[in-house]
Structure 1
Amino acid sequence: MHQGLTSAQVAERVAKGSVNTTARRSSRTFGQILRANLLTRFNAIIAVLCGLILVFGQPVDALFGSVIVVNSAVGVIQELRAKRTLDRLTLLTEAPVRVLRDGREVSIRPGEVVVDDLVLLGPGEKVPVDGAVREADGVEIDESLLTGEADPVEKRRGDKVQSGTFVAAGSCLLAATGVGEKAYAARLAAEASRFELTDSELMTAINRLLRLVTWIIVPIGGLLVVRLFTSGASVSDAVVGSVAGVVPMIPEGLVLMTSVAFAVGVIRLGRRRCLVQELPAVEVLARVDTLCIDKTGTLTEPGMALREVRPYDGVSPGVARAALAALARAEAKPNQTMRAIGDSLSADGWHAAETVPFSSARKFSGASFPEHGTWLVGAPDVLLPDDDPARREAQDLAATGRRVLALVRSATLASRDRRTAALVVLEQRIRADAPDMIRYFAAQGVDVKVISGDDPAAVGAIARQVGIPSADAPADARSLPQEPDALADAVAGHTVFGRATPQRKREFVAALHARGRTVAMTGDGVNDALALKDSDLGVAMGSGSPATRAVAQVVLLGDNFTALPHVLAEGRRVLANIEHVANLFLTKTVYAALLALLVGIAQVPFPFLPRHITLVGTLTIGVPGFFLALAPNSGRARPGFVPRVLRFAVPAGAVAASMTFAAYAVARSNTASSLRADRSTATLTLFLVAFAALVVIARPYTRWRLGLLAVMAGCFAAVAVLPGTRQVADLTFPEPRDTLAGLGLAVLGAAVLVVLLRLDRWLTRVG
């Protein structure tokens, strides 16, 4: 009898550092967060430009530099909040490890395992350390996460087992040999729970836009600087004008708003007890168009109840029940089905000499009892021949939505000579909220496919009751073609599948990918781990196997299927809002670049001071962009992020630049007007056209959105009218003719913008 380590031996190993701890974190450190938000390319550019203004201009014109403080503070605060949420929820999902110490079984955290610990492992449990098998009871290790091989490998005494694998069937006692940084588990777990913005399609698209902006800023900014310095203006005026022209070209808040939107998405989902283990998963949520779910635990309530045992072939009810109870007791770690049987029945005097544990690939388990023979229990279509009347009866029962197992007697565990002993009927309850969830996904354009290891008829019956389309024609996964194209057609043509093995589920995900689908896969059992790993978005139940939780991007801690609509909605909210914000920031970049180009060509003073640009940018982009980035939004994700943003930003920016420069030219033609008044006219026109773009972006209009627009317009009016703020902003409107011209051109610009955007939508539909 193994005793395991003593407390003194454990303390000795802890003192030596032979513990299963690593330096990994579920999120970035405070220092990393601070550096990532402060040390950015755009912060560096703005800091240099701000320094130039402080040297050559007035301090009030350096207000745009406050964006560094505001952006960095908001980014740091939001990511720290998300970090706390992630760290707390990650701790909740950490599966305990069972070890033998001082002669008894205890549960400890994975980080507390030490070298030479004896680790107890059962079906669905992840191997936390490298080790050697001391005792094996039909144990099969799934090494697919390391090797890519789908078939479980049987392990015997003395065999090596690597961390990062998991137990597919049976149980074993493992002596820990490699812990901490020396084990594979640390790297695997780090990949499953890292908090980062990398590998994001959206961030890749935004970076493409930023590279494009950089190529625009350099030549146009250079042209502006050269023209201003050669125009005869003073050095101070040339520097201030150059800074005023370059600053608005920089979309400094775009990356910030994107990271904030992601972080807030993590926090909101965390409040619903949804752990987002990879930050880009928030984006993938929005792109999902196919949701693959299991029947048990999603459409039905967790667990089940034994309804009846129907004996066959002269087997007495008492013997059948005793055999079932003994089989349930022989399982080292029974699944829900065997637990339901074991909780309802009892057997005395039955002692298993040899066992075959249940696995999803076999779909049955069995045991040999010296005084009672060999018994197997599992899927009727696996254990019973086609012409067996019990098999036909099992199919009829399964068609009503019940779960049916066959109990058979066999010569040996491996023998095909079997006799039907009984049918076991279990009751499953449909989740009350499942029909509403299915209707929600249908309304959102998400195809739902039910993929289960149960009998196709039983799966179809449950699917019909919750409203799954085409559930009347469930497919048997075993009968579907192996050839990839043919399988893709078959998967696309059905919505309900039964008798799906773990490898078959994985093939279904590949088939859906071949048809260009973005796939989310839910699961809780060890048999779901492979498919979750290959899907675009793996969603695991909190009470599911540790292996499943390790490879999933989202974990539903409350095992609550009703959280899935919130998960989908959060992803779509983030993606749609970021597109709105990108429209605003890129519009500013376009009109700033065009104005700089026009000024360089016309060789006139720049129409704005930096404070004017700060005022317009804050009221039409900065403040409203922040609120719009976090607003409710149910818009569906669509491909073509970059072209769509450019189709809005280029015409909007072009209209703003042309109307602003025209108003500036009209004001300059008035010999009675001053440069200060001309700049005020240009500022008024730019604000109104940019505000018109904001009005378009803010749709659909709600009370708070209209309130936001009113506040922004009111703030500009207050700055332009009140003597104190008007002086600080350096605005003056002494010439009614120029002011009316500016207003008229702004109205014309707004009308042209609306026409151009409607024309674009019409061309898009026609195309």
Structure 2
Amino acid sequence: MTIFPEDKETETEIRGLCAAEVEERIRQGKDNRADVGTGLTTAEIIRSNTFTYFNFIFLVITILLCLVGSFRNLTFLPIIIANTLIGIIQEIRAKRTLEKMSILNAPHAIVVRDGSQKQVASEELVEDDVILLRAGDQICGDASVLSGEVMVNESLLTGESDEINKTQGDELLSGSFVVSGQCYARLTHVGMDSYISKLSLEAKSMERTEQSEMIRSINQLVKWVGIAIIPIGIVLFSQSYFFNGETIARSVTATVAAVIGMIPEGLYLLATIALALGTIRLATKKVLLHDMKSIETLSRVDVLCVDKTGTITEPGMQVSHILWRRQVMEENGAEGDKGLWDREALQGMLADYVYASTDNNATMDALRAALDKMPEAKAGRRRPSHIQAFSSANKYGSMTFSDGTYFLGAPEFIMKDSYDAIAEEIASYVQKGYRLLLFAKQEADGILPLGYVTLSNPIRANAKETFSYFKEQDVAIRVISGDNPQTVSEVAKRAGIEGAENYVDATTLDSKAKIRDAVERYAVFGRVTPKQKQLIVKALQEAGHTVAMTGDGVNDILAMKDADCSVAMASGSEACAQAAQVVLLDSDFAKMPEVVYEGRQVVNNVGRSASLFLVKNIFSLLMSVFSALFMITYPLEPSQISLISMFTIGIPGFLLALEPNRERIKGHFMRGVLVRALPAGLTDVLAVGALVICGQVFSLPPEDVATAATLLLCVVGFMILIKISKPMSGIKYAIVIGNIAGLIFAGIFCHQLFALSAMSKVCVLLMVVFAFAAESLLRYLSLLVEKIDCKF
């Protein structure tokens, strides 16, 4: 589409920079590269995984054990090093995968250089470049309009949703996006000097709220454990050394064992790796996550808001009919003024409008394609004296030619109070699910309807299957569209959306109270403005729902920004894709169940494995309190804690986290973890506490008691492992049996490394008795905890 400059100076500027000028600006650092991303660099990933609070604690523990000569109890070091390396490798791997996918989905711009247009990545632009901006484009640098006229939305910068008209000489801010129209603009500030870069740097320095319930819960657990281990460690060492008269070496090793048992060293790593692997798996299915934690959010969604075009239907649009009002009235047997021009003249007028339009959207592309096939529509191209581009707020555009002003858009918005005059004659087309546009002319006594254009989008082949899946998962669908509500309702019915017959015209929802009432009553919303989409999302959230918003156009961005999770179709506007957390690179809405499945696998598996980690933490914490109250030395050594952790927690926990899991997420993450872990943790404390007391009664050597306690904890560990693995499968049996075999091998061939000694017959008998008692105790405590949980 050509824009006609108003003077020779502007025409010269529109030729753009030459290659030499571009190179010179790159040398001067005036390109559009800006390091304002929130993603971590490789160095930052290494530092964040290495220099952690708990790694510092482990370093102190290592130094203390070395000072007292207890080198055997450094068995935890390989696990800590492996955890750190795995975390670094997986995060870097996920980062590189996402970077490759992001490059494919990076924003581009049309630049004018040496008098010709070409598409380049936005970061390749330089200061003074002339760019072409069209509807849906995000403005990639501060710029000044040279020629043309656009409507711009600066909501992502200012929070205000009003569309601002920009003409020659007006300034454009980077980060805003073009709603309608077309213009040439010269970049004035790029890269780190642009407005959006300065805002992004400021935002990057601010603390961000963690949106993932799972990560937030784990962070809270890690925080409180980190605070608790210091005073508990001091108390245990003091009690062992000063009150029980133990040696420094024995006191240090006992204290270290308790502290190591309380540290959930693998839990955060497990969650991070699970999320990273889920992100990589989705990337192979052409689903890009700007934030990998968004898969958890989407898996918890109970209301999914979708747009009609590009989501329920294919993104492409096609003209089904071009109908002149004379023809429509005759078909309906209506009398009255049927129009002033013949078909050929009207077709030429529509062609003049369409070919002069600066709108760059699916509707106008479909009209141009249809008119290109009509020879009579190519003659008599006229140039308008004024153009009002289509606006999603107004729902129509207009042009003024020498013989008057013409309108093209939504009939009810163009006709307003006179809409009833044409409502009946277009009803049949609306009922069939067509999107209908009115072509009209301004007359002295009002608006004169000239004809109609019907457009259609084919329903996606897998739409019914996809929406059926969400229905089965109790996810409610809300269709939010700018089209006629009856039309949207018909399309939604054909797509199999439950409640599609319940629709409302959003023009009647003129207050927040009406919107709050409507979101629970209606499944389909038509004639929705961008601001109303945002209010609908907020109303659903206020009603206690977790909301996901899908879209492909600039009119969806406001709602996507406020939704709990936002999903964009890559075939839509770049601004929309960049604003979303999840981008469907092949624009296939049927991939949504895959994203939900990944989220469920991550949350359910991490939650299940987290309960294994928490059993050890609960036991160590309560056993430390037990030891302090009864004035006994903590019974286990660090190497024994490492053995228990390796075969009943670490290895099975990570393997179970990789298992496919499509179960619905139920309840809160940490509450579910505690319900599963608390019975086993209490069982461990009661069983080991009783064993230690009996050991003192029978005067058993501390080494025998420690060995018996280690084996008893392993038995209970495998009990809880089997319990949380149900229903069992071949893979789960292999995990359990493999870890039991590993434990037996380590106990036989590495018994000295893990401080396991031969036990007396009395000690073996006590261990067997308490092992059987532990099974019954675990079963009854589980029932008790579940019963209490149900009441609350």
* Within-5 A mapping of 1:247-286: 247-286=260-299
1:638 shift after superposition: 4.5
1:100 shift after superposition: 1.5
| Alignment-mate amino acid for residue 452 of structure 1 | S
1:188 shift after superposition: 6.1
1:569 shift after superposition: 2.0
2:361 to 327, 335, 342: 335
* Within-5 A mapping of 1:20-31: 20-25=32-37, 27-31=39-43
Deviates most, 382-391 or 360-369: 382-391
1:96 to 76, 87, 108: 108
Deviates most, 328-337 or 241-250: 328-337
Q: Which residue of 1 aligns with 2:600?
A: 572
1:93, 1:557 within 8 Å by CA — same for their partners in 2?
Answer: yes
Q: Which residue of 2 aligns with 1:33?
A: 45
State the alpha-carbon separation in 2 of the partners of residues 14 and 40 from structure 1: 39
Q: Which residue of 2 aligns with 1:113?
A: 125
The reply on whether 1:743 has 2:738 as its aligned counterpart is no
Structure 2 gaps of 5+ residues are 1-10, 326-337, 373-377
Structure 1 gaps of 5+ residues are none
The reply on whether 1:366 has 2:376 as its aligned counterpart is no
| Alignment-mate amino acid for residue 329 of structure 1 | Y
2:134, 2:360 within 8 Å by CA — same for their partners in 1?
Answer: no
1:153 shift after superposition: 0.8
Q: Look up the SS of the partner of 2:32 in the other structure.
A: coil
* Within-5 A mapping of 1:541-556: 541-556=569-584
1:197 shift after superposition: 9.0
Q: Which residue of 2 aligns with 1:472?
A: 501
Q: Which residue of 2 aligns with 1:148?
A: 159
1:324 to 335, 345, 350: 350
Deviates most, 210-219 or 350-359: 210-219
1:127 shift after superposition: 0.8
Q: Which residue of 1 aligns with 2:462?
A: 433
Deviates most, 588-597 or 642-651: 642-651
1:691 to 718, 732, 755: 718
1:333 shift after superposition: 4.1
State the alpha-carbon separation in 1 of the partners of residues 201 and 769 from structure 2: 59
Q: Which residue of 1 aligns with 2:735?
A: 708
Q: Look up the SS of the partner of 1:729 in the other structure.
A: coil
The reply on whether 1:399 has 2:431 as its aligned counterpart is yes
Deviations 1:590-617 (A, max 9, x none): 1112222333344444422221111001
State the alpha-carbon separation in 1 of the partners of residues 93 and 755 from structure 2: 39
The change in CA–CA distance for 1:425 and 1:446 in structure 2 (over 3 A counts) is: same
1:34 shift after superposition: 0.5
Deviates most, 687-696 or 216-225: 216-225
State the alpha-carbon separation in 2 of the partners of residues 397 and 382 from structure 1: 17
Q: Look up the SS of the partner of 1:278 in the other structure.
A: coil
Deviates most, 68-77 or 541-550: 541-550
State the alpha-carbon separation in 2 of the partners of residues 238 and 27 from structure 1: 44
State the alpha-carbon separation in 2 of the partners of residues 143 and 298 from structure 1: 25
| Alignment-mate amino acid for residue 759 of structure 1 | L
* Within-5 A mapping of 1:718-729: 718-720=745-747, 722=748, 724-729=749-754
1:193, 1:277 within 8 Å by CA — same for their partners in 2?
Answer: no
State the alpha-carbon separation in 1 of the partners of residues 731 and 314 from structure 2: 40
State the alpha-carbon separation in 2 of the partners of residues 595 and 554 from structure 1: 45
2:566 to 535, 538, 542: 538
Q: Which residue of 1 aligns with 2:328?
A: none
Q: Which residue of 2 aligns with 1:730?
A: 755
| Alignment-mate amino acid for residue 204 of structure 1 | R
Q: Which residue of 2 aligns with 1:345?
A: 371
The change in CA–CA distance for 1:388 and 1:245 in structure 2 (over 3 A counts) is: closer
TM-score between both structures, scaled by the size of structure 2: 0.91
1:752 shift after superposition: 1.9
Deviations 1:27-75 (A, max 9, x none): 2111100010001111111122122223324433201122221111111
1:570 shift after superposition: 1.7
Q: Look up the SS of the partner of 1:20 in the other structure.
A: coil
Q: Which residue of 2 aligns with 1:236?
A: 249
1:361 shift after superposition: 1.3
Q: Which residue of 1 aligns with 2:78?
A: 66
1:47, 1:65 within 8 Å by CA — same for their partners in 2?
Answer: no
1:639 shift after superposition: 4.9
1:374 shift after superposition: 3.7
* Within-5 A mapping of 1:603-618: 603-618=631-646
State the alpha-carbon separation in 2 of the partners of residues 54 and 607 from structure 1: 20
2:351, 2:381 within 8 Å by CA — same for their partners in 1?
Answer: no
How many residue pairs get aligned? The number is 758
Q: Look up the SS of the partner of 2:545 in the other structure.
A: coil
Deviates most, 613-622 or 571-580: 571-580
Deviations 1:609-630 (A, max 9, x none): 2211110011111111212333
| Alignment-mate amino acid for residue 357 of structure 2 | E
State the alpha-carbon separation in 2 of the partners of residues 203 and 427 from structure 1: 44
| Alignment-mate amino acid for residue 231 of structure 2 | P
Deviates most, 313-322 or 34-43: 313-322
| Alignment-mate amino acid for residue 741 of structure 2 | G
1:590, 1:650 within 8 Å by CA — same for their partners in 2?
Answer: yes
1:190 shift after superposition: 7.6
2:471, 2:498 within 8 Å by CA — same for their partners in 1?
Answer: no
| Alignment-mate amino acid for residue 218 of structure 2 | I
1:246, 1:592 within 8 Å by CA — same for their partners in 2?
Answer: yes
The change in CA–CA distance for 1:189 and 1:570 in structure 2 (over 3 A counts) is: farther
1:657, 1:686 within 8 Å by CA — same for their partners in 2?
Answer: no
Deviations 1:283-318 (A, max 9, x none): 322322111001111111121222222212244333
2:359, 2:389 within 8 Å by CA — same for their partners in 1?
Answer: no
Q: Which residue of 2 aligns with 1:288?
A: 301
The reply on whether 1:375 has 2:406 as its aligned counterpart is yes
Q: CA RMSD in A?
A: 2.4
Q: Identical aligned pairs, as a percentage?
A: 35
Q: Look up the SS of the partner of 1:406 in the other structure.
A: strand
1:473, 1:494 within 8 Å by CA — same for their partners in 2?
Answer: yes
1:410 to 442, 466, 470: 442
Deviates most, 732-741 or 105-114: 732-741
2:348, 2:380 within 8 Å by CA — same for their partners in 1?
Answer: no
State the alpha-carbon separation in 2 of the partners of residues 123 and 446 from structure 1: 33
Q: Which residue of 1 aligns with 2:609?
A: 581
Q: Look up the SS of the partner of 1:171 in the other structure.
A: strand
State the alpha-carbon separation in 2 of the partners of residues 316 and 706 from structure 1: 80
1:215 shift after superposition: 4.2
The change in CA–CA distance for 1:748 and 1:321 in structure 2 (over 3 A counts) is: farther
The change in CA–CA distance for 1:227 and 1:28 in structure 2 (over 3 A counts) is: same
State the alpha-carbon separation in 1 of the partners of residues 481 and 148 from structure 2: 29
2:144, 2:171 within 8 Å by CA — same for their partners in 1?
Answer: yes
Q: Look up the SS of the partner of 1:457 in the other structure.
A: helix
State the alpha-carbon separation in 1 of the partners of residues 572 and 488 from structure 2: 20
State the alpha-carbon separation in 2 of the partners of residues 191 and 281 from structure 1: 23
Deviations 1:564-585 (A, max 9, x none): 1111222232222232233222
Q: Which residue of 1 aligns with 2:389?
A: 357
1:460 to 486, 489, 508: 489
Q: Which residue of 2 aligns with 1:520?
A: 548
1:191 shift after superposition: 9.6
2:675, 2:786 within 8 Å by CA — same for their partners in 1?
Answer: no
Q: Look up the SS of the partner of 2:448 in the other structure.
A: strand
Deviations 1:152-189 (A, max 9, x none): 11112211111111111111111111111110233567
The change in CA–CA distance for 1:437 and 1:184 in structure 2 (over 3 A counts) is: same
The change in CA–CA distance for 1:628 and 1:377 in structure 2 (over 3 A counts) is: same
State the alpha-carbon separation in 2 of the partners of residues 754 and 216 from structure 1: 30
1:522 shift after superposition: 0.6
State the alpha-carbon separation in 2 of the partners of residues 734 and 319 from structure 1: 104
1:387 shift after superposition: 5.6
Q: Which residue of 2 aligns with 1:18?
A: 30
Q: Look up the SS of the partner of 2:452 in the other structure.
A: strand
1:192, 1:553 within 8 Å by CA — same for their partners in 2?
Answer: no
| Alignment-mate amino acid for residue 343 of structure 2 | P
Deviations 1:396-416 (A, max 9, x none): 2111112222222224xxx88
Deviates most, 227-236 or 168-177: 227-236
